[in-house]
Chain A
Amino acid sequence: MPDAPEAKNAGESPNANAAHAYGAAKHPPPDSWENILTRRLVLFSFWAVILFLGLPIWWKTTTIYRAPLPLHQMQDWADGKVCRLTFPLRIAVEAPSLPSQEAQHLLRTTQHALDDLNDFSAHHLRLLLSERPQSGQPGLDQSTENLTVDGLQPKEDIALFIRLFPGESGTTPRADLHPYSPTLDIFYSSNQIPSSSSTVSPLATFIATELQAIFNEEQAALSYLLSSTSWHPSHTKLMSPELAETLSRRKTRSFKYAPTYHLTFSLFTPTAVPSDWEIEAALDEYMSPLLESLSSISNFTVDTQTQFYAGFSPSISGPEYNEEKQAWVLQKSDLGGFINAAEWPLSPSIGAGPTINFILYVPSEHQTPLLVADNGGSSWLIPQWGGVQILNINGADGSSVPGVLTKDDLRPAMQTFSYQLLSLLGLPQSPNSLPLRISTLTRVHSASLIFSASSTLGALARLTETLPSISIPKKVAQSVQQTTKHLQQACTSLREGRFHAALENARIAEAEAEHAFFEPSMVGQVYFPDEHKVAVYLPLLGTVSVPLVMAVVKEYRSYREARKRAS
């Protein structure tokens, strides 16, 4: 027993029966009531200061500011509960040679035929009869400035103009779509006009089928877009897997919509020739008209550069000579690494908006012609980045690469680049009318911007709920408010068929939503680990709280004892 000596000492000590000894000891005189009251008041005031002053101040100074967000509304937008997207397309029919009565009747029967053909209810075509002072001639693109379609619709919100002409020659009925204006000319013979009693007519059916064919791709694109989001309208058109495949390819290929795109045209050559190109003239002639017609949806800035001594990256095997084709060929697997990102100065342009790169590569003299192995082509597209064109060219004497590329040398390359640009912007393949395709793009972009802004709102709402320690500045709340406001406006504009207004609003909504989501002060969350808090709080609060708590406990005990004694 190790503590035996101690115990022995204790045993020999006079206060062996300690409990009894204490019990027999003197008691302090009973405390006066005044003293007890003072003590309790002191204790109470200390605790009052802590509870009613200290705690609120601590709470106020350490709490994270979270601006109130309309979380429900945001979630509803993300779930597609607020807005039902519809695309009512207005089509103005102009029949100068028909009496108004017959024209109205034709319109009605055509509308009937159209409604029968359409199985995608969100996207529907509405025919309107337009009054036009003077009659146009077929095939002539007349200005449609003085056109009035019932109501005060601005001209640009009319999706398509149909002009009916009595056919003089050729087969009738016959349709002719203008490639550079949203106009469809229909030629008919007089016997094809439906009589006022009949409800079907070959002309009406013909027009309806034509229209359906024209807007078929747009419908497919929109329904694909709708089905890829959570906004499932119950009547989504079932599409063939091939079509879905094409649409998804186009979607992965094209850039996200931006109000400004920067186009960079670069001339790359592995040697020092050609050392110059007539790019200004070529751009003026081949690119500017296209960019002008695209200016209704986005702005474009153009810059060009020439880069010499541009070698291939070491990661690709490089071109090999193919005896059969009498040409140097690039393997298809090398196309991905063709752009030597480490050495070629292709940094994105400064300023908001993505950069689309177009690269004209002129191979060195001893590697001409340079082709892609599989199909013998010389150009390809890099999804969401740009396009490459290899220009195999010989000088006037047929032997060497010319020192300067003329505008004519650049023509095929510029045509490839325009085609690639349209692809990269996500323009549909059909119909064969550029304005129609651009207006289709307006609608697709409006819809996708609305989707993206709404899903950003939903993500922000979820983020707010899952991270309670994240601060939400007032600016975010304002941005969210702006987003919902503009989303609502975009939705209304779509429903009313004002597609340009819809695109404008959707763009603002998208920008505001991104602003809200990527607010920098929200991203940089202050991180205080728990050990840190303990280290800061404990030295003061721990030592102060012990006497405070003990005093309360003691006071409570004496109060209880006093009550027991009293009873």
Chain B
Amino acid sequence: MLDRLFYEDKGVLLQNLHSVTILGYLAVLFALALLFSHPLYLAGIFLISALAVVTAEVLEKWEFYLKAGLWMALLIMVINPLVFHAGKTILWRSPTLPLLGNVSICLEAICYGAAMGIRLLAVLTIFCLAAAVVHPDKFLSLFSRFAYKSALVVSLATRMLPAAARDLANAREMLQLRGVDYGAGNLKERLKKYSWLLDLLLLSSLEGALQIAEAMQARAFGTGPRSCYRRELRRPRDLLCFTACCFALVFSCYAKAKGYGDYNYYPQLGVLVPHPASLILLGIILGSLALPLVLNWGWKHWPYLRSKI
């Protein structure tokens, strides 16, 4: 089931962008999700992230993230009004409760909790998108130029994880077929049985590590200065998407500086649209962030555009 969380080639444009571009796009989305506190701006970022997930054809992955995210968002919405009482619009006041005393639920705290819930969902959606569209090898290749050894260690670990998971499942079955009953015995006995699994995994991993090290030496690893193979091409789509990201970032900073990206929840809810310019700026930011998604549509349905970007 965990396989569903990892990168899978769907042939969509977001997966075919240069890693700098796609990482830039994700970084901007993530930064804006943290930067803004205005509910409309947060909802806009969530909407764009959700559309990107749909565009990347990874709804089944998103479902996994949402299942956890929605519960967490709901929890924030419930706990926040219980903990924060700084709002002026009291909706309900409880009788005196043991330990808690009088608990008052105010509209402002509910709204703030809801906004934070949307922010959480947006952040989780961006993580989901990152897992679905960033090719791990391209990502590591990008960093291997200046942090080669760290990138190699991550690559080796990534490669060995599925093998270790498979070995663990095999070892568990093999031990059961040698009479090990994991359900029997007290906690200490059961822990001991599970420790045998770790022993087996450790022994196999150590032997495997030795063989990998030998294979690396046979392929000239550590014999002198090395170069870095660049496997990615820069195309017009990268320029377009990167420019759009920069555009969105600049206008976001402007919106933030003007205070349009912020919102006063306490002590009383502020005006949702203090100035028409705030909506115009939001439109420009979302439009810029939506450009890769529009290009993705063209990439799929318009061969002429595909040939040009």
Q: Do A and B come from one complex?
A: no
**Which residues does A use to contact B, with CB under 8 Å?**
none
**Which residues does B use to contact A, with CB under 8 Å?**
none
